[in-house]
């Protein structure tokens, strides 16, 4: 029994006091993979030249609409990058307008609940507020939930991991029916780039372990655990240097691009090219490709390229 | 019995001040403290006095109003504004329910009280506020709230958060408490035991023997315009007033009130059947005179004692401020000073002004501020310091600068705070994951807000490099560093805070977005 189900029972039976501690049973969950097939035949959609919400509307439509991913009554977890106490124009966090639009699409398909969180780097309340995420999520009745406490995380095994064999993962990732990963493309001092796979570092508790034990291998390892059902890469305002935190708005280039795919390796590869680099510059992409998490061979994929 | 409107006013005021101060310390989500600590703490005597010495102005002149109040009305401060006083009154109120014993006149312990006051002033003059740190009623009250009361509210808040969560409601924030400070807790517990014990049995004895603010106002109140006085002609010496006097300063046998100890609680006014005790303008009466039992001999004795205790104490307060913290196998011992909050100017200014009330500690959103032990030396015990094992100082935050009531942390604009260098990052390559493990890491550079720490090529990897003059010492790198058992990057304290250079801003990224898709 996980923490939240326990909690519900505990409240029901009036023993709330006992539940305040950390109830993190070792949940052994096998890698859950998406079985979504591309009805339109597209593996990846790239959109260019519009506002974040408009680009998403166009992009998701060409993938067959959100209904392919979200069914009536589903609970959805949306994982943007909200890691930094920075405002929108710095490109340090995912564009709130995009997250808002994704939530709206989920509700339109009858989602029961849409949860949004990040295990932030800066103080979490400041990140949630100043990134504009809190306002955006609340406006469309999504639930911005905390990720700042170990008690929200449960131990899991990463069966296919080479260096990362165990991790503590946020309960919303473990419990939700649909997982939508919404990273922002940015330069990154150590990982070179942060995109979709790197964004998953924000769903685990102990990031220091990754940094100590071959960062690139750990990033690829964790991508085998729970592949997001959908990855939406925000390349609207792109931090071209000094990432992932950035120093000034001068580091930011307005590229006005968006990439959508269920293949996390493909979407990272495409984003790398948008940034102007190749996968050889970003070691974890090659590792993940070799581990068959997805493919970096974009020429084998059916890619929709839309301009607005 | 007569109507006792004055007492009612006193009770209402005291509860108002108690609530205002308590709210600041308890404020679980830190929504009130930053904007309201100024007005709510305006009249707290010691913080206001200390702040005034640094920044004189109407905004810090609260203590002058308090002195004026005392000159006019006597020690009303002690009964309505001082939160620790109100706590004692509450304890006394409860004790009335359980104890049959009544208050009885107690001779003034002038030696002790003025010796303590003298010592505190002397210590201030030689440049340490160690006496105030130990004895300031506001700071003591703050520490008690921070150690015992706030955690209870945090616990309740978190319980409520969990309850709401089951209904899918996330309107409240869970609050994490990072660490439990043993020394601070013991300290506050001891004080609490002393205060509760004394007030349970003897009313305001603490205020009239130990508290230096009480003693100072005792002296001033001798000359107050208004005093509680007994009409000797009408008084029949029944002793009712004496039995309700929390300060135990009414001697009904000789029909005299020791006004230096009277805290203007007005309990006596209501009980007198003959209406012969009243609160009046009485400029003429020389108070305290009748109680000078001990004569000049004891004065010499008392000065001697102060002298001895000062000499013995001065040995202690001069403890070096340097201590060893960071020891590594590969690197020689690194001497490290505590890191004081941005805005505190220097360790010297900070230890001179801070009375360890812990308001900044309770208000700090990242909880990087923690009570120290001997890091600032013995006389700086319990001063807040930045603890980068717990957290780091948020680049966009100025909360501690804005809440500090004593001027130990001086307020500046966010723009300026971002350039205050409280220390400098030092990199120990031999400890770094990139060197020891031969893999990429970069957690430090990732967290650095100014890019004082950035990654540079190292074999086929990247390793951190520190640019000292743009580093502000926020500790984000140290906190994030994953190497074990020792950190590979740490902040070396600036004894005197410096101004960092502005972060390097490169040219605007010029390259135009490509028209086409690169795949």
CATH number at residue A301: 3.40.50.11440
- Cα A182 to Cα A93: distance, rounded to the nearest angstrom: 10
Query: Does the pLDDT value for residue B287 go beyond 50?
Result: no
Q: Which residue of B lies nearest to A277 if distances are taken between CA atoms?
A: B518
Instruction: Give which of A46, A189, A259 to mutate to test B binding, by max B Cβ within 10 Å.
Output: A189
In chain A, what residues touch B437 (CB-CB under 8 Å)?
212-214
- For residue A151, the enclosing domain spans 31-307
- Residue B421 is predicted with a pLDDT of 97
Got the DSSP string for A61-72? HHTT-GGGT--T
Alpha-carbon distance of B3 to A267, in angstroms, equals 81
Asked, for residue A4, whether it belongs to a domain, the answer is no
pLDDT at residue B211 tops 90: yes
| Domain co-membership, B265 together with B171 | yes
Residue of A247, A260, A269, A286 to mutate, interface with B, max B Cβ within 10 Å: A247
- Domain assignment present for A2: no
Q: Which residues of A touch B506 (CB under 8 A)?
A: 241-242, 250-251
- Is residue A9 situated within a structural domain? no
Q: What pLDDT score was predicted for residue B221?
A: 92
Q: Comparing A249-258, B147-156, B212-221, B509-518, which segment has the lowest mean pLDDT? A: B509-518
**Interchain proximity A245–B446, CB inside 8 Å:** yes
How many domains are contained in chain A?
A: 1
Q: Look at the pTM and tell me if it is higher than 0.90.
A: no
Distance of CA B117 to the CA centre of its chain: 19
B509/A250 Cβ within 8 A: yes
Task: Please indicate, yes or no, whether residues B284 and B331 belong to a single structural domain of this protein.
Answer: no
Is the domain of B334 the same as that of B380?
yes
Q: Cα separation of A172 and A147, whole Å?
A: 10
CB contact (8 A) between residue B440 and residue A20:
no
DSSP labels for A241-282?
A: SSTTT-S-GGGEEEEEEEEEES-HHHHHHHHHHHHT--GGGS
Interface confidence, given as ipTM, is 0.87
Report the alpha-carbon distance of residue A301 to residue B415 in Å, rounded: 49
Domain, as residue range, for B334: 323-499
- Return the residue in B164, B168, B400, B451 with the most chain A beta carbons within 10 A, the one to mutate for interface testing: B451
- B180 to chain A, any CB pair closer than 8 A? The answer is no
Question: Do B417 and B279 share a domain, yes or no?
Answer: no
Rg of chain B over Cα atoms, rounded to whole angstroms, equals: 28
* Integer Cα distance of A197 and A219 in angstroms: 6
Q: Which pLDDT score is estimated for A10? A: 61
DSSP annotation of B79 reads I
Place of tokens 């995109």: A195
- 3-class secondary structure, A230: strand
If asked whether residues B178 and B270 sit together in one domain, one would say: yes
Q: Classify residue A6: in a domain, yes or no.
A: no
Q: Whole-number mean pLDDT of chain B?
A: 85
* Rounded CA separation B215/B222 (Å): 11
Q: A283-290 vs A215-223: helix axis angle to the nearest 10?
A: 40
B 416-445 → A contacts, CB under 8 A: 433, 437, 439-443, 445
Q: Which residue of B has its CA nearest to A211?
A: B441
**In contact, A266 and A294? CB cutoff 8 Å:** yes
Long-range contacts of A133-139 (CB under 8 A, 24+ apart): A133/A80, A133/A82, A133/A93, A133/A94, A133/A96, A133/A99, A135/A96, A136/A96, A136/A97, A136/A99, A136/A100, A137/A96, A137/A99, A137/A100, A137/A103, A139/A100
Give the C-alpha separation, A172 to A304, whole Å.
31
Q: Is residue B303 part of a domain?
A: no
Residue B337 is given by DSSP the state P
Nearest to A126 among B163, B396, B507 (CB): B396
Looking at the partner chain, which of A46, A190, A213 has a beta carbon nearest the beta carbon of B462?
A: A190
B250 forms bridges with which residues in the sheet? Answer: B257
Q: Do B414 and B462 share a domain, yes or no? A: yes
Q: Which residues of B touch A257 (CB under 8 A)?
A: 513
Instruction: With a cut of 70, say whether residue A186 has pLDDT above it.
Output: yes
- Which residue does chain B place closest to A12, by CA atoms? B166
Look at chain B and report how many structural domains it folds into: 2
Between B53 and A254, residue with greater pLDDT: A254
Whether residue B366 lies within 8 A of chain A, CB to CB, comes out as yes
As given in the structure block, the two tokens for residue B78 are 């002690």
Q: For B167, name the nearest residue in chain A, comparing CA atoms only.
A: A8
Q: What is the pLDDT of residues B58-85, one digit of tens each?
A: 888 899 999 999 999 999 999 999 999 9
């Amino acid at each position: 029994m996980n923490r939240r189900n326990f909690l519900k029972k505990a409240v029901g039976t009036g023993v709330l006091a006992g539940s305040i501690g950390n109830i993190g049973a070792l949940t052994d969950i096998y890698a859950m993979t998406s079985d979504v097939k591309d009805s339109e035949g597209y593996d990846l959609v790239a959109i260019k030249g519009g506002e974040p919400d408009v680009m998403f509307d166009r992009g998701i439509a060409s993938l067959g609409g959100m209904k392919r991913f979200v069914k009536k009554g589903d609970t959805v977890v949306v994982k943007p990058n909200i890691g930094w106490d920075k405002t929108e124009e710095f490109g340090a966090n995912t564009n709130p307008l995009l997250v808002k639009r994704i939530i709206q699409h989920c509700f339109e398909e009858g989602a029961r609940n849409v949860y949004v969180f990040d295990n932030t780097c800066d103080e979490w309340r400041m990140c949630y507020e100043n990134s504009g995420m809190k306002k955006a999520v609340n406006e469309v009745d999504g639930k911005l939930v905390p990720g700042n406490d170990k008690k929200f995380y449960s131990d899991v095994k990463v069966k296919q991991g080479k260096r990362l064999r165990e991790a503590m993962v946020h309960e919303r990732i473990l419990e939700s029916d649909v997982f939508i990963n919404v990273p922002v493309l940015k330069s990154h001092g150590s990982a070179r780039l942060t995109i979709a796979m790197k964004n998953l570092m924000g769903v685990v508790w102990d990031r220091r372990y990754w940094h100590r034990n071959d960062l690139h291998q750990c990033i690829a390892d964790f991508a085998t655990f729970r592949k997001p059902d959908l990855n939406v890469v925000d390349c609207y305002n792109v931090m071209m240097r000094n990432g992932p935190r950035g120093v000034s708005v001068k580091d930011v280039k307005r590229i006005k691009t968006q990439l959508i795919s269920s293949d996390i390796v493909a979407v990272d590869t495409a984003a790398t090219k948008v940034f102007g680099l190749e996968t050889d510059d970003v070691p974890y992409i090659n590792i993940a490709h070799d581990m068959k998490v997805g493919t970096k061979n974009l020429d084998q994929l059916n890619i929709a390229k839309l301009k607005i | 019995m007569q109507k006792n409107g004055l007492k009612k006013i006193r009770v209402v005021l005291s509860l108002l001040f108690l609530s205002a101060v308590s709210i600041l310390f308890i404020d679980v989500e830190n929504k009130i403290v930053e904007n309201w600590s100024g007005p709510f703490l305006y009249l707290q005597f010691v913080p206001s006095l200390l702040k005034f010495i640094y920044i004189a102005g109407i905004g810090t002149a609260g203590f002058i109003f308090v002195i004026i109040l005392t000159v006019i009305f006597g020690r009303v401060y002690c009964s309505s504004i001082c939160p620790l006083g109100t706590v004692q009154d509450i304890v006394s109120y409860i004790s009335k329910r359980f104890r049959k014993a009544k208050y009885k006149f107690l001779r003034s312990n002038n030696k002790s009280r003025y010796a303590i006051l003298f010592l505190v002033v002397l210590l201030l003059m030689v440049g340490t506020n160690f006496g105030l740190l130990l004895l300031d009623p506001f700071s003591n009250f703050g520490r008690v709230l921070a150690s015992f009361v706030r955690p209870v509210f945090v616990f309740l808040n978190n319980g409520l958060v969990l309850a709401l969560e089951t209904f899918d409601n996330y309107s409240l924030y869970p609050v994490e408490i990072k660490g439990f400070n043993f020394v601070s807790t013991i300290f506050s517990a001891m004080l609490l035991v002393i205060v509760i014990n004394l007030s349970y049995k003897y009313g305001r004895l603490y205020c009239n023997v130990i508290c230096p603010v009480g003693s100072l106002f005792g002296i001033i109140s001798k000359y107050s315009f208004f005093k509680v006085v007994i009409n000797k002609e009408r008084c029949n010496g029944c002793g009712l007033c004496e039995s309700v006097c929390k300060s135990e300063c009414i001697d009904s046998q000789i029909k005299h009130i020791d006004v230096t100890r009277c805290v203007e609680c007005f309990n006596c006014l209501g009980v007198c059947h003959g209406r012969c005790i009243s609160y009046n303008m009485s400029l003429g009466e020389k108070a305290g005179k009748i109680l000078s039992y001990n004569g000049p001999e004891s004065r010499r004795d008392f000065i001697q004692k102060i002298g001895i205790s000062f000499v013995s104490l001065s040995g202690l307060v001069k403890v070096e401020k340097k201590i060893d913290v960071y020891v590594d196998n590969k690197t020689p011992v690194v001497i490290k000073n505590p890191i004081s909050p941005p805005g505190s100017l220097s360790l010297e200014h900070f230890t001179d002004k801070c009375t360890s009330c812990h308001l900044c500690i309770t208000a700090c959103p990242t909880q990087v501020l923690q009570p120290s032990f001997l890091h600032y030396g013995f006389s700086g015990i319990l001063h807040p310091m930045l603890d980068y094992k717990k957290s780091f100082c948020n680049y966009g935050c100025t909360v501690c600068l804005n809440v500090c009531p004593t001027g130990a942390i001086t307020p500046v604009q966010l723009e300026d705070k971002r350039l205050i260098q409280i220390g400098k990052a030092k990199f120990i390559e031999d400890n770094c994951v990139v060197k020891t493990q031969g893999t990429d890491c970069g957690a430090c550079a990732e967290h650095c807000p100014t890019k004082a720490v950035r990654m540079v090529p190292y074999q086929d990897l990247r390793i951190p490099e520190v640019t000292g003059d743009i580093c502000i010492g926020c500790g984000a790198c140290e906190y994030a560093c994953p190497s074990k058992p020792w950190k590979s990057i740490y902040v070396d304290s600036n004894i005197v805070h410096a101004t960092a250079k502005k972060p390097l801003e490169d040219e605007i990224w010029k390259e135009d977005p490509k028209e086409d898709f690169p795949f």
